[in-house]
Amino acid sequence: MPPRRRAAPAPAGAPGPTDADPAPDTPDASAIPDALSSEDPTMAYPTSVNSQITDAVTQANVKVVGEAPAMALGSLYQSAAHSLGIMFENAVTAQQNQNIMAQAATTQGVIALYRFSGLPPPPSAAPRSGEGADGA
């Protein structure tokens, strides 16, 4: 926030504010209560219960501020653990896909060996002509 500028002093002889015409935003000094007196109607009266409430609120605020670093680290550790779990899930999926590709490549290699070696082709899983779906 920029500092407030002071108004330039009025030239000599210019009309200025008088005691009879105070500025509307200037409070009367007698209307401002003393901060240390108990005459201020907005402040609670100093009783033993009021000090206990003040202490309880202060302790709650200190507790929240004191726990902030632990909560931040807990959140960080949870995020790291979640990321690590996702990383392991992705690693398992990649390994499964690699195994599927290895089995498919092995199958293709065996089919190529049967095709070019002059051996009869491997038995087919399709039913032979004349046989039903139940194999009889």
Residue-number span of the structural domain to which 92 is assigned: 48-116
pLDDT at residue 37, rounded to an integer: 52
Task: Give dist(CA 74, CA 57) in Å, integer.
Answer: 25
Domain count, the chain: 1
Residue 69 in domain = yes
Residue 129 in domain = no
10-residue stretch averages of pLDDT, the chain, 136 residues long: 58 57 56 52 67 84 87 95 98 98 94 78 66 55
Task: Give dist(CA 90, CA 94) in Å, integer.
Answer: 6
pLDDT at residue 61, rounded to an integer: 86
Residue 125 in domain = no
b/e per residue 88-120 (b: at least 16 CB within 10 A): eeeeeeeeeeeeeeeeeeeeeeeeeeeeeeeee
pLDDT at residue 80, rounded to an integer: 97
Residue 126 in domain = no
Residue 63 in domain = yes
Count of residues making up the chain: 136
pLDDT at residue 65, rounded to an integer: 86
pLDDT at residue 1, rounded to an integer: 53
Q: What is the pTM of this model?
A: 0.42
Residue 39 in domain = no
pLDDT at residue 76, rounded to an integer: 96
Residue 97 in domain = yes
Residue 23 in domain = no
